[in-house]
Amino acid sequence: MRSPTTAEKPRIPWARPSLVGREREYVVDALDSTWISGGPYVERLERELPARMGARHGVAVNNGTTALQLALMAVGIGPGDQVIVPGFTFVAAANMVLAVGATPVQADVDPDTWLLDPESFRAAITPATRAVIPVHLYGNVADMDAIGGIARDHGMFVIEDAAEAAFSTHRGRCAGTLGTIGTLSFQATKTLATGEGGMVLTEDAELDRRMRLLRDHGMRRGRRYWHDVVGYNFRLTNLQAAVGCAQIEQIEGLCRERRRVHETYRRCLADDPRFRPQRFADEVSPVLWTFGVRLLPRADLPARDVVMARLLERGIETRPGFHALSDMPPYAGPSLPVASQVSRNVILLPAYPALDDATIAFICEAFTSTLAPSG
């Protein structure tokens, strides 16, 4: 296939799920079986995905946000507790800390990886701190050696938000299996996509039991309509799990293509004094979610939003980095220097398995040429 040209104004989406396996067949099978709420695909997903990721237990839930809430509740976080979150993050982690009645405390991020900075994390600890949520943004994995060590020293839970980093590894172990509990999202743009959906991963049988209880109204297994604790309905449907099972069958290919997309971007966007791609530590092997580039603060460069608009004119959809938490009303407070700097200058370029190398080269050429002051 020839690569798109400017004149054609191609529309290159920022993300696109790959539903090219047995998704349709399994969904139809689930429909025909009449098991449309719980069912065998949910059980299969709970067996196969943790096994693939090297986790002992996995509890399927209806999205990555409830996965975080379930994790926080399972370790007993509640009013009076503080939980440390990165100041540059997707908001779900902070929102769910508030949802369980605890207080999110922001720590700054590393200027190159854009992930929780261990020293800022250490400095944010108080006697009320009970947990930390490293958020593995864009396919990267936080410095889990340092973060895990600090958390251990302070008797803290580590809840990894691996929504954007499914199958990325840190020293050969999957993101989401490195802390007390890991959370995943299966939203449409994610590496394993079911529309909406998620999972919590843990090694701990007691946490697994508690999360299953809380996911299903707090109802005791084997005693119908008897509720031991206050619970919720966070269940994944059999229809969504059917899609997930088909996705798992293709997961090696999906991850391979996302790795290729990453490598191609790295080749095409070599050193440039105008921007810096997100840095991945040597111990991280990423399965890319999106390719993030930070524009460097230079007076001769157009603003980030201008660059995004110019790319859209050329048919390329991009996204901005997340807003710093401290810039938004629910979390307003003193800004963290790196989080606020990074949040203003990050552009996220398209990344999905079907994105071919020629199109990536086209995106990179368009990106670098839009950085010229004249556009």
Ligand X SMILES: Cc1ncc(COP(=O)(O)O)c(C=O)c1O
The residues that are catalytic are: 190
90 lies in the binding site for ligand X (CB under 6 A):
yes
Give the binding range for ligand X (CB under 6 A) out of 38-46, 159-167, 169-177, 251-259.
159-167
Which of residues 110 and 315 has its CB atom nearest to ligand X in the complex?
110
| The token pair that represents 7 in the structure block | 């004149």
Bridge partners of residue 219, in order along the sequence: 227
144 lies in the binding site for ligand X (CB under 6 A):
no
Shortest spacing between CB 164 and ligand X, in angstroms: 5
> Which residues 174-233 are close enough to bind ligand X by CB under 6 A?
185, 187, 198
321 lies in the binding site for ligand X (CB under 6 A):
no
Which of residues 71 and 308 has its CB atom nearest to ligand X in the complex?
71
Give the binding range for ligand X (CB under 6 A) out of 158-166, 221-229, 310-318, 364-372.
158-166
161 lies in the binding site for ligand X (CB under 6 A):
yes
Q: Angle at Cα 58 formed by Cα 53 and Cα 61, nearest 5°?
A: 120
Give the binding range for ligand X (CB under 6 A) out of 22-30, 62-70, 304-312, 354-362.
62-70
Q: Is residue 260 classed as helix, strand or coil in its secondary structure?
A: helix
CA distance 102 to 81: 5
Which of residues 83 and 301 has its CB atom nearest to ligand X in the complex?
83
Shortest spacing between CB 365 and ligand X, in angstroms: 28
Q: Is residue 123 classed as helix, strand or coil in its secondary structure?
A: helix
CB of 200 closer than 8 Å to CB of 61: yes
CA distance 91 to 89: 6
CA distance 136 to 114: 9
Shortest spacing between CB 90 and ligand X, in angstroms: 4
Which of residues 27 and 165 has its CB atom nearest to ligand X in the complex?
165
**Of the candidate residues 63, 129, 180, 343, the single one contacting ligand X (CB under 6 A):** 63
Shortest spacing between CB 82 and ligand X, in angstroms: 20
140 lies in the binding site for ligand X (CB under 6 A):
no
Distances (CA, A) of 156 to 77, 106, 125, 159, 360: 11, 16, 10, 10, 42
Which of residues 90 and 232 has its CB atom nearest to ligand X in the complex?
90
Secondary structure element (H or E) that encloses residue 320, with its range: strand 319-320
92 lies in the binding site for ligand X (CB under 6 A):
yes
Give the binding range for ligand X (CB under 6 A) out of 103-111, 116-124, 156-164, 234-242.
156-164
Give the number of other Cβ atoms within 10 Å of residue 80's Cβ: 10
CA distance 50 to 313: 42
Cα torsion angle, 28, 29, 30, 31, sign: positive
CA distance 76 to 82: 12
Which of residues 146 and 188 has its CB atom nearest to ligand X in the complex?
188
Q: Angle at Cα 118 formed by Cα 116 and Cα 121, nearest 5°?
A: 80
Name the residues that contact ligand X, by CB under 6 A. Answer: 63-65, 90, 92, 135, 161, 163-164, 185, 187, 198
